[in-house]
Amino acid sequence: MKRLPTIATSALGLGAFLFWLVAHPEWISYQEQYQLFLFNADYLAERLSVAGGVADYAAEFITQFFYVVPLGALLMALICVVLQRLCLLVCRRALPGAEPRPALSMVPALLLVAHMGDEEVLPSFAVALVMALGAALLTMRAGRWRTAVEVGMVPMLYWAAGPVALAYVLLMAVHDALRPDLSLRARTLGGIALAAYAVAAIAVIAQTALRQYPWPDAWGGINYHRNRLTYPALQFVIEAAVGLMPALAVGLHRIRLRHIGAVEMSVAIAGGAALIASSYDRDKYLQLRYDYLIRFERWNDIVRSAEKYMPATPLASSSVNLALGMTHQLGRRMFEFSQCGSDGLLCRFERNMVSCVPTAEACFRLGMVNEAMRLYFDSQESILNNRKSGRMTQRIAEANIICGRLGVARKYLADLKETIFYSRWARMAERCIDAGDLTPWDHIRSLRYTTPLIDDVDPKKMLAVLWMGNKDNRMAYDYLMAGIMLDCDMQMFANMMPTLADTDFDSLPRHYREAVAMFWLQGMLPADSRIAPSDEMKRDIRAFDTHFLMASDRRKMLKSRWNKTYWTYCLVTFPALAASTGATTLKH
């Protein structure tokens, strides 16, 4: 069983790697896209100017590599492995002459993975933990200089890693309390003195050097969580687990049962897995997954994922609709998926950093560049810890180039040039600007509005203007029709019907045919209309109508053979919306 620690470490590393690579690659991408690590002295100075800044800087340095998701998964797995190995070393220190069982050493790493199920928990916390454990192991080797090292280490570690320095203090106090070579009095007083010193040191630092930060930040951490003034309980549980590691190691080592190692390992793995499973909310992560797939333009993967399950939220709908729009399937398939009205096509702005990103991406591709720039900008400004975003900065720079604000674009490009993964693109863009050659953006430039105009509160009107300005903008047309249908706006659909007339009815996208059939059944199709439903469609809508009128519980309609039709969307899913536009019933 000598190899058990190595096996445990390998299993943890491999498990963590696969977890982030296969189960939650979106977590990796999410972390990367809400920071912009810059290689310049100002950026370093800004990070080092607050407690925990070294850990934060190191974590952001690592996180920039998450741009390549497999590399990100590997780096996160490495952090877990380092954390576990350091915990194992602490356990070994607590049990001189004996080999500790590895299960305990895995607990902080497993708790950390679970803790990171809150996507706003920053990798800085993980790096800070590693620094605290490293500092503790160094201190343990200090011999007779140990007290002096502790006195210096507490403020240094606090400034470098933040309040995990308290976990260091606890760990050292507990470790000393278990030392047989010290008297009980020395152990007790030593621990109390170290704790008192740490509290006093942190208080002084907070009062003098963190004047622009609220008092709770000094104790809960400035850079451990993206959301300011948020300190999840699990963060303190992990810190306590690290701090109490020597005592737990000694306690568990005293348990002498047959197969205790296997039992401990089973409990750690099963408990960890259960905790992790409960920490990653399915719907939330599915929406983050859509955003990740949008970022890398994996439209078919979004559609495939949504075919299995999708949350019924505007964010999810706008993501899936964008994927359908990009693959020219909106008119054919949009009602196969959960829809939330026109809010699920182009979401209304909300002050958060996530919800409008798919809408911004859609606007950018549609040619609504000012709107896209506003949404990117506001999404970036909504990043909870005031950081910038490489992804959004790039888009803002592009939008400025497209709009001809080249001076402002250069400012953003200057930032991107100081990164690893965006600099190549930024240099290319700068060369284009220098040469006056904007061909990379010609397509979007050709889709833009041609005259100055004010944004209307109704996105359908803006889409209509956009499409009228350039009738080759097929995506604008698809989105316009989708918006009309999602609003059940039959009047506006009627206005748009002439645009369908040149196409054979059976060649029209399915949902357009369904809408035309509704007009036909209501007798609203003009006699001279060049477009008329096929016999099969007429039979189908008559059957739907009969079924609809007879159904005692209309929710059952959602499970019927028409559940993926525009008719069900209009009359069952959103009857109130349909009522407001006069489409409540088919027959009259």
Partner 1 sequence: MNRTAASIIIMCIALALAGCARRPHDARRAGTLPAIYPDYIGTTIPAGIAPLNFCIDSVDLVDVEVRGSKGGHLAANGRWACFDIDNWHRLTALNAGGRLTFSVCTLADGQWTRYDDFDISVSTDPLDDFGVVYRKIAPGYETFSHIGIYQRNISTFDEYAIVESTAAPGQCINCHAFRGTDPDHFQLHFRGLRGATLIQTEGRRRWLNTKTDRTISGCAYPYWHPTGRYCAYSLNLVHQRFFAAGEQYIEVFDKASDAVVLDVGRNQLITSPCLQTDELETYPVFAADGQSIFYCTSKRYDNHADFARIRYDLCRVPFDAATGRIGTRPDTVIHASAQGKSVTFPSPSHDGRFLLYCQADFGVFPINHREADLWLLDLRTGLTHPLDKANSPHTESYHSWSTCSRWIVFSSRRDDDLHSRLFVAHIDTCGRADKAFMLPQHNPRRLYDRSHYAYNMPEFVARKVDFDTQAAFGELFSDEREQTTMRPE
Query: How many other C-beta atoms can be found within 10 angstroms of the C-beta atom of residue 450?
Result: 11
381 near partner 1, judged by CB under 8 A: yes
Q: Cα separations (Å) of 145 from 156, 167, 180, 186?
A: 16, 21, 19, 16
Collapsing DSSP states into helix, strand and coil, what is residue 475? helix
49 near partner 1, judged by CB under 8 A: yes
349 near partner 1, judged by CB under 8 A: yes
- Are the beta carbons of 102 and 266 closer than 8 angstroms? no
- DSSP-assigned letter for residue 398: H
Select from 240-248, 291-299, 380-388, 580-588 the region that touches partner 1 (CB under 8 A).
Answer: 380-388
Select from 323-331, 369-377, 501-509, 525-533 the region that touches partner 1 (CB under 8 A).
Answer: 369-377
CB of 323 or CB of 373, closer to partner 1: 373
Q: Which of 70, 152, 214, 526 binds partner 1 (CB under 8 A)?
A: 214
Q: Minimum distance between the CB of residue 31 and partner 1, rounded to whole angstroms?
A: 18
- Are the beta carbons of 158 and 201 closer than 8 angstroms? yes
120 near partner 1, judged by CB under 8 A: no
Of all helices (H) and strands (E), which one includes residue 485? helix 474-486
- DSSP-assigned letter for residue 348: P
x/- letters, 218..257, toward partner 1 (CB under 8 A): ----x-----xx----------------------------
Q: Which of 11, 46, 78, 579 binds partner 1 (CB under 8 A)?
A: 46
- Are the beta carbons of 284 and 445 closer than 8 angstroms? no
Looking at residues 285 to 304 of the shown chain, list those that interact with partner 1 (rule: CB under 8 A). none
As a whole number of Å, the CA-based R_g of the chain is 30
Burial 220-235 (b: 16+ CB within 10 A, else e): bbbbbbbeeebbbebb
CB of 140 or CB of 354, closer to partner 1: 354
371 near partner 1, judged by CB under 8 A: yes
* Cα gap 536→556, rounded to integer Å: 23
Residue with tokens 């568990």: 252
40 near partner 1, judged by CB under 8 A: yes
445 near partner 1, judged by CB under 8 A: no
383 near partner 1, judged by CB under 8 A: yes
434 near partner 1, judged by CB under 8 A: no
What residues have CB less than 8 Å from 572, skipping those under 6 apart?
Answer: 548, 554, 555, 557, 558
* Cα gap 365→62, rounded to integer Å: 31
378 near partner 1, judged by CB under 8 A: yes
455 near partner 1, judged by CB under 8 A: yes
Q: Which of 9, 63, 105, 380 binds partner 1 (CB under 8 A)?
A: 380
Contacts 24+ apart (CB under 8 A), 267-275: 267/103, 268/103, 268/104, 268/106, 268/107, 268/110, 269/106, 269/110, 271/110, 272/106, 272/107, 272/110, 272/111, 272/113, 272/114, 275/110, 275/111, 275/114
Q: Which of 61, 65, 231, 449 binds partner 1 (CB under 8 A)?
A: 449
Residue 575 region by backbone torsions, left for phi larger than 0, else alpha for psi between -120 and 50, else beta = alpha
Select from 81-89, 205-213, 317-325, 531-539 the region that touches partner 1 (CB under 8 A).
Answer: 205-213
CB of 382 or CB of 529, closer to partner 1: 382
Q: Minimum distance between the CB of residue 444 and partner 1, rounded to whole angstroms?
A: 13
Q: Which of 180, 407, 436, 523 binds partner 1 (CB under 8 A)?
A: 407
- DSSP-assigned letter for residue 458: -
462 near partner 1, judged by CB under 8 A: yes
Query: How many positions of this chain bind partner 1 (CB under 8 A)?
Result: 50
Looking at residues 131 to 160 of the shown chain, list those that interact with partner 1 (rule: CB under 8 A). 159
Q: Which of 146, 295, 405, 547 binds partner 1 (CB under 8 A)?
A: 405
Residue numbers at the binding site for partner 1 (CB under 8 A): 40-42, 44-46, 48-49, 159, 207, 209, 211-215, 222, 228-229, 349, 351, 368, 370-371, 373-374, 377-378, 380-383, 386-387, 405, 407-408, 411, 414-415, 448-455, 462, 465
